[in-house]
Structure 1
Amino acid sequence: MVAIFIKRHKSMIRVSIFFFCIGCGIALCFLKIDCANAVNTENPVTARYGVTNGVEYAVLVLTSPLNEERRNVIRSTWAKFISNIFVENGERLYKWNHSWTEKQINHDFIKVYFVVGTKGLNTEKINMLKTENTRSNDMVLLDNLTDKYENLAMKMKLSFVWIHENLKNVKYVIKCDDDSFVRVDLIVKDLEAFAPQMNSYTLNTYTSTQVKTGTAQHQGLYWGYFNGHARVQRKGKWQEQDWFLCDNYLPYALGGGYVVSRNIIDFIAKNADYLSSYRSEDISMGVWTAPLDGINRVHDVRFDTEWISRGCLNELLVRHKQTTQDMFQMYKSLVDSKGGNLCKSEAIERGAYEYKWNSRPSQCCNTLHHLSSRNKDSIPGNMKT
């Protein structure tokens, strides 16, 4: 029967096959055009680093080439909290939106980048980093930087140059180290709602802000845990042999975690060749930003970023000097409590201080400030930003 049918309708079948082939060819041509246009318009940097023009909050994690385990822990823990910031009817809202089982939805306006210098590394190590980046698409590989402690200030400069050139819509950068646990969601929530003035009642519980003379509004933000009375180190790991400015370091936010606005990034990037670099990147940042006007310097006791942790309190936004086990424990505590508890059990090991911006820097940091209980207004929950 099939043979008889084919024989009777041979011409019709041939015509049908002919037009089917033509249709497929036209469809493939349009597909190739679309693909070609996508390839032609895609910036090589975008393909390499996962850059999108929508990034407004860049989390810059300084890490060394061999610290893949730490990077993976961050990817598996606090980096996931980006999903707690979501968009509804064109507005950005905060709500705890994380569980053990739900699929997390990240947004292109917040992105974590791990910065590594690759100069001097052997081929095997470079290939390992490239393979890692192929999986994660979140690394910035600086091939003109030798990654070592002495080059941290240069690493910050080059990172800001990269952001200046590639992330055109960035508003704020959250800088941290790979041993910091960061509540990126709560930091972005406060930035969305209050930056750069940072003058809300809730924030006043934790912050002390630089006195601004005149009526002009702040145009930029430098937010962290500040020190203005630190003595210059002349020996050891943090020695500054080239320091000559004064007996103490200029006021700076400690490097375990701080936030800077776009205008600071642009200033440093444009003047990178002329800015002095010191052994510590956070001290260098204090020097680079010292002459800038219109910058709101905000000291916040929720940034636990000193050389040793002050303990664990649920209010903290950044905890520096944490092991990978510490990070998993804090992540578990937050998930189990639906964002309510950072700590398995709260413990204050050392008090924080309020920064006295209206005093001389040598007298800035003597008043202890204890976070003994949760401020009711700071409890994570629905928050329109």
Structure 2
Amino acid sequence: MNTALRKPAAAAQPPLEPQAASAREHLRLSGVQKVYTGGALPVTALADIDLSIARGEIFGIIGRSGAGKSSLIRTLNRLEDVSAGQVLVDGVDIGTLKGDRLVALRRRIGMIFQHFNLLASQTVLENLALPLKAAGFRRDEIEARARELLELVGLQGKEQVYPSRLSGGQKQRVGIARALMLKPELLLCDEATSALDPETTQSILALLQDINRRLGLTIVLITHEMAVIRQICDRVVVLEHGRIVEQGPVWQLFGAPQAEATRALLAPLAAQLPADLARRLAATRQSGARAVLELHYDGQGAEPDFQALGQALGAPVELLHGGIDRIQGHALGRLLVATAAPERRLASFLTQTGLFARAEVLGYV
């Protein structure tokens, strides 16, 4: 991506005058609150939000409907003013920005929307041109930049196509290209894949990861799907009723969720006990029956080692069900195994350290 966009003198914006801040810290929210007062009673959408987002990371914000996700992401570019607290971008309190300095901030921040927000009466090229037209760039510069970005998002040759002729995934790729037209440093994604089918979602997430690597952009992504967080994010914050209930590296929240809201969001991804196995499972052990063990791995060090498991039990181990995910280099998941080990060995095995995060006997088959 070599095209250098030269701003005409009339469109030049004053710098934001960044203050001293960590070289790695791109955004910081400190004591942020957002209260809506337009109705009969005030509604608190955000309360006591404190978080830091590093430059160049992909940061996820997740929560159930009404958790405050959209309100939070809209504070990052001042589409929403906070009721209390500070939002700092490169050490600058954006609540103090006015006029040209606020315009300069928003031009450094691209945004991608759930429903694409493309103008149906405009071609792909004309949709991409809008941000640069507003900034006063020349037509040849605009077209060069648009073609460059269409190639980046895999839509070269679609310049004169209208949105109605595009698939949902293609529309979102146009939305991504448009968000990149002014060479932003920060990309906000508001449920960017919620309107897409699973296969298209995978391709859009892969594209965002590629853009993050190539351009070094900081990406902040809100979603209600833990599968999206698992695939793309470095760290994640979980919101519930406008408050942060949990935050940390993605692998950590998947491996050992602490908050009820986090566990509820992870529930659809959990492997369920197969119906045929549930029907066969007995609460007491009969002669010749094998114990069914549930082994949990939380990424803290232990990884599945069937030879070591068999040695600890003094009997072979058969895998019945489950799976292990690798997230950010950590092994996470749950395995159901069967073993004919005697009860005394089982009791000792359940107290083992280093073989799993925790284990329990589900029953006997």
TM-score range for the pair, normalised by the shorter chain length: under 0.3
Q: More strand by proportion, 1 or 2? A: 2
Q: Which has the higher contact order (CA 8 A, sep 6+)?
A: 1
TM-score (norm 1): 0.25
